[in-house]
Structure 1
Amino acid sequence: MTGGRRAVVIGAGVAGLSTAGLLARRGYEVTLLERGTAVGGRAGSLTIADAPGFRWDTGPSWYLMPEAFDRFFSLMGTSTEEQLDLSELSPGYRLLPEGLDPVDVPVGADAVAELFETLEPGAGEEVRRYLAEAGDTYRIAVDRFLYTDFTSPAPFLGLGVARRAVRLIRLLAGSLESLVNRRFQDRRLRQILSYPAVFLSSRPSQTPALYQLMSFTDLVQGVKYPSGGFAAVVESLRRLAVGHGVSIRTGTEVTAIVTDRARANPFRQIPGVGRATAHLSAARAQGVTVRTSDGTVSGTGEEFIPADVVVSAADLHHTETGLLPAGLQTYPERRWRRADPGVGAVVVMLGVKGELPELAHHTLIFSEDWTPDFAAVFDTLPGGAGQKASRSVYVSRTSATDPDVAPDGHENLFVLVPVTCDPSMDTSAVDAIADATLDMIAQRAGVPDLVDRVVVRRTLGPADFAERYNSWRGWALGLAHTLTQSAFMRGTNRSRAVSNLYYAGSTTTPGVGVPMCLISAENAVTRISRSGGPSRDSARSGRDRR
């Protein structure tokens, strides 16, 4: 172990593992603390003793933005090729639109244009223009807006941004739904280009049109699958972190972030005081207190783990309101009353006897009018009556690509049903949603005996997300990517009250999704490095240390 400064990272999901690995590579002595019994967080893995041969990813399943993975692995002194075995999916996914024939959605601008033209005359050339614009927006976002903490205006001052300023402002001010609907008339085409909003924990009518860039990632860059699923991604992150000296403690719950004071210094509130001076007057984290999952504690009742830097990759609401005193909260409870929690989810994991060629590796099932679907998810109050689940759902038949996730003669299905964020949703409500969804899948896919062929079934609901991950309101992903919750308005990756406390993960900047978590880890570590501390080129054989 190096003699560098000590860092504690809270939460061993994708962001926590990535942050810990990057810090260790820069010379920190890192302790990574995880409340659960395994690493991965929302990117978890499930096996069942009485269902041998089945394995499910319990969270992320779309491998998008490959350059985010490439960049992270390069920072860790390795490469994606060394770490993961990737397969290209063809088709990228299948669409099962209500009342219409299935549509296989290809990859590549030419193939997509050909498909669009067959469904709507003139849409082929229009989608070429749309995807070219989406690609340009994507490159600007990657080059200027994602790998930044918005503490400097420099990302906005480049010539490339200036030339696109008017268009970017229009994209931020307008909605994805309006942008798509103006340019395409066919319902299927609108849904293909609008549905990525759900993967941003939002709905098309509230998602800035800037996020048209999502269509570039799946329709042009393509959809890949890492052999072993996202469990293989998590294992790679774990292996790299440990190889660089990170100490991972599972079954260890952080109960408080300990600081040198209970409240922020009022001096930092004086108008005109510079940022650096303000941080010097802020509180400082001294470490964290923990307890183990079996309820035991060491010493006199609490174990204290000292640290020079603390990074929380846990749910931001929990970090701010559960681990810090009221006087040191950058985001106090009153701030959260105005926040849009985004999408909740009911996850259904199935083992099915026999083959299901009617479903692709990725299948999207859309209702004819999905307005009620979004209303059920975003407009229903927790605990309220009425429809709480969407009838537009996502199905992953992982066994279409990976034979190791199901025994011979069986299929592995992962079903994601968007629901309202409501941790009061009990098991009977989750089961009712799962039952109705399976009936719908059977009807829409043309597999009338689907339910009868299910040999194993497990579910997760908002209450599970709340309990397992301390998710605010049981959210599945994180804050919705609405206008006021995007880019610099989404928040900060550094506490304004505790100078050496930082944030990473899907509930902070830059946003939701595995690539965003990798980026958030790099951004947090970059900001820590700017504040001082060891930073060494670990080209030496740090990966081989044990």
Structure 2
Amino acid sequence: MKKKIAVIGAGFSGLSAAAYLSKAGYEVHVFEKHEQAGGRARQFSTPEGFRFDMGPSWYWMPDIIESFFSDFGYSTSDFFDLVSLNPQFEMVFDSANFSIPESYEDLKLLFEGIEPGAASKLDKFMQSAKFKYEVGMRDFVNKPCHSWGEFLSPKIAFSALKLDLFSNFRSYVARYFSDKRLRTLMEFPVIFLGASPKEIPALYSLMNYGGYALGTHYPKGGFYQLVLAMQKVAQIQGATFHFNHNVEALEIKNNTITSLIIDGKKIAFDFVVASADYHHIETLLPEDLKNYNDSYWKNRTFAPSSLIYYLGMKSTIPNLTHHTLFFEPDLDEHIKSIYGDKKWPEKPLFYVCCPSKTDTHVAPKNQENLFLLMPVATGIDDDDKTREEYLLKMLKRLERHTGARNLYEQIIYKRSYCVRDFVNDYNAYGGNAYGLANTLRQTAVWKPKIKNQKIHNLFYTGQLTIPGPGVPPSIISGKIVAKEVINLNP
């Protein structure tokens, strides 16, 4: 008889785990409390004709995503059309605006024009970043991280010094570039990892390669097309999805989960893979069966939360690209507000995604779909008045950049999303948006364990465990956990 496995949560890691476990022959049931798959990557449509991706919008590391589909005999092209963006994005500074071109050779010309000699330095930087990417994303991140012994292979040991694990990212970038704008441009990708560049290991220059060198892409129809494709793959393997099903409790006997209580109904399972918030799942356990107590979580460094606005605009906005980063204020001041003072930033950095510049399916003709995101500290109060104040600040800067006028008056659809929404919708600890920061002390073996140490059939996957935050790492996380379950019970 097939072993029954419950996957709690249908985010990227849950979808991945469900697909691999189903392929291995298990009876897999995915329970998702929302009406659709995707977790933070859900999508919604409005009566006005707009379609909004709720979370991830940067399609980076396309080879990692492609490898998931190839494991099942598919390609992403079997499910959606992937567009390479040109420019990849625009970065706005006080002194100038820089469009990051699709072509790497054009990128070198841009660097050389900003700082003489920077083109050759970029080559050296990217050569090292490519090495880190190939070792890191193919060897390093695929470990279950039970112990450091997993990293004692000759290949990893030989590569250890080249991985720059013990250098911080900021000082590493400063070795190559002097211009502050170029440094900010190179530091920007690690913001996705949820900490200051001073706290992130230089290993993560692999992000620069995974983004700038491999390109920035967009799935036609929205990022949610990736969710639908992964769900379809899991279903083809045999996984069953149960939407609007909330896991309320775990029944445990003799250090083994025997069943889940789902909307008041008891259902027996042999294994449980928790793709929901790690801390939340542990609140469903008795104190003596948790991997970590409250003190542990309070002392972790969490990635930021975000203030997000989904805006439907009644007219198009000139001089705006698909992705635009507003970095006129000082990066460190904004970072300090997140990790030091834990307050709303005085001069915020923010990001604008305008997918309607690329995709006619996400907004009515001659109208615009805007996604505004501003990183903020976890745990802060986010009342509606404060949200609105920051919306006005962001729109004013967007007007200054594009030359558009009276953008607030152009809004025909508006929805905000912030700390309390992350808590309510995802049980996210402190309302975090991206999981744990990838600081050195929270890397690999030092991340929360993927297996409960006292309950033999409970596993964890997702952005709060290995390998870390981001879409490709979450997909990898699901695969790692599936392998662990299969190895335990082949």
**Equivalent in the alignment of 2:122:** 127
Identity in percent:
32
| Equivalent residue for 2:59, pick from 60, 63, 76 | 63
CA positional deviation for 1:108: 4.2
**Equivalent in the alignment of 2:455:** 498
CA positional deviation for 1:389: 6.8
393-402 or 145-154: bigger deviation: 145-154
Q: Is there any run of 5+ residues in structure 2 with no aligned partner, and where?
A: none
Query: Alpha carbons of 1:183 and 1:524: their partners in 2 closer, same or farther (altered >3 Å)?
Result: same
CA positional deviation for 1:413: 0.9
Question: Are 2:259 and 1:287 equivalent residues in the alignment?
Answer: yes
Counting only pairs closer than 5 Å after superposition, residues 86-101 of structure 1 correspond to structure 2 as 86-97=82-93, 99-101=94-96
Q: Deviations over 1:200-242 (max 9, x none)?
A: 1222121111111110011100011111112111111222222
- Tell me, in whole angstroms, the C-alpha distance in 1 between the residues paired with 2:120 and 2:400: 34
Q: Does structure 1 conserve the Cα–Cα contact (< 8 Å) formed by 2:317 and 2:402?
A: no
Look up the SS of the partner of 1:409 in the other structure: coil
- Post-superposition, which runs of at least 4 consecutive aligned residues in structure 1 deviate over 4 A? 152-155
Question: Are 2:482 and 1:525 equivalent residues in the alignment?
Answer: yes
**Equivalent in the alignment of 1:190:** 183
**Equivalent in the alignment of 1:486:** 443
TM-score where L is the length of structure 2:
0.96
| Equivalent residue for 1:440, pick from 378, 383, 397 | 397
The amino acid of 1:319's aligned partner reads: I
417-426 or 127-136: bigger deviation: 417-426
- Tell me, in whole angstroms, the C-alpha distance in 1 between the residues paired with 2:106 and 2:149: 38
Look up the SS of the partner of 2:175 in the other structure: helix
- Tell me, in whole angstroms, the C-alpha distance in 2 between the residues paired with 1:32 and 1:387: 37
- Tell me, in whole angstroms, the C-alpha distance in 2 between the residues paired with 1:365 and 1:443: 11
**Equivalent in the alignment of 1:393:** 350
CA positional deviation for 1:458: 1.0
The amino acid of 1:95's aligned partner reads: M
- Tell me, in whole angstroms, the C-alpha distance in 1 between the residues paired with 2:180 and 2:367: 34
Query: Alpha carbons of 1:290 and 1:78: their partners in 2 closer, same or farther (altered >3 Å)?
Result: same
Q: Deviations over 1:374-401 (max 9, x none)?
A: 11122234xxxx5347621111110111
Look up the SS of the partner of 1:252 in the other structure: coil
- Tell me, in whole angstroms, the C-alpha distance in 2 between the residues paired with 1:119 and 1:352: 35
CA positional deviation for 1:284: 1.7
CA positional deviation for 1:360: 0.9
Query: Alpha carbons of 1:389 and 1:248: their partners in 2 closer, same or farther (altered >3 Å)?
Result: farther
Q: Does structure 1 conserve the Cα–Cα contact (< 8 Å) formed by 2:15 and 2:230?
A: yes
- Tell me, in whole angstroms, the C-alpha distance in 2 between the residues paired with 1:93 and 1:401: 12
The amino acid of 2:27's aligned partner reads: E
428-437 or 481-490: bigger deviation: 428-437
CA positional deviation for 1:152: 6.0
Q: Is there any run of 5+ residues in structure 1 with no aligned partner, and where?
A: 262-282, 292-301, 534-546
71-80 or 340-349: bigger deviation: 71-80
Q: Does structure 2 conserve the Cα–Cα contact (< 8 Å) formed by 1:426 and 1:463?
A: no
**Equivalent in the alignment of 1:378:** 339
The amino acid of 2:124's aligned partner reads: R
Q: What is the root-mean-square deviation of aligned Cα atoms in Å?
A: 1.7
Look up the SS of the partner of 2:474 in the other structure: helix
**Equivalent in the alignment of 2:43:** 45
- Tell me, in whole angstroms, the C-alpha distance in 2 between the residues paired with 1:527 and 1:387: 41
Q: Does structure 2 conserve the Cα–Cα contact (< 8 Å) formed by 1:144 and 1:155?
A: no
The amino acid of 2:279's aligned partner reads: H
- Tell me, in whole angstroms, the C-alpha distance in 2 between the residues paired with 1:314 and 1:374: 27
TM-score where L is the length of structure 1:
0.87
Look up the SS of the partner of 1:132 in the other structure: helix
Aligned length: 490
Query: Alpha carbons of 1:36 and 1:133: their partners in 2 closer, same or farther (altered >3 Å)?
Result: same
Query: Alpha carbons of 1:152 and 1:420: their partners in 2 closer, same or farther (altered >3 Å)?
Result: closer
Q: Does structure 1 conserve the Cα–Cα contact (< 8 Å) formed by 2:18 and 2:28?
A: yes
The amino acid of 1:303's aligned partner reads: K
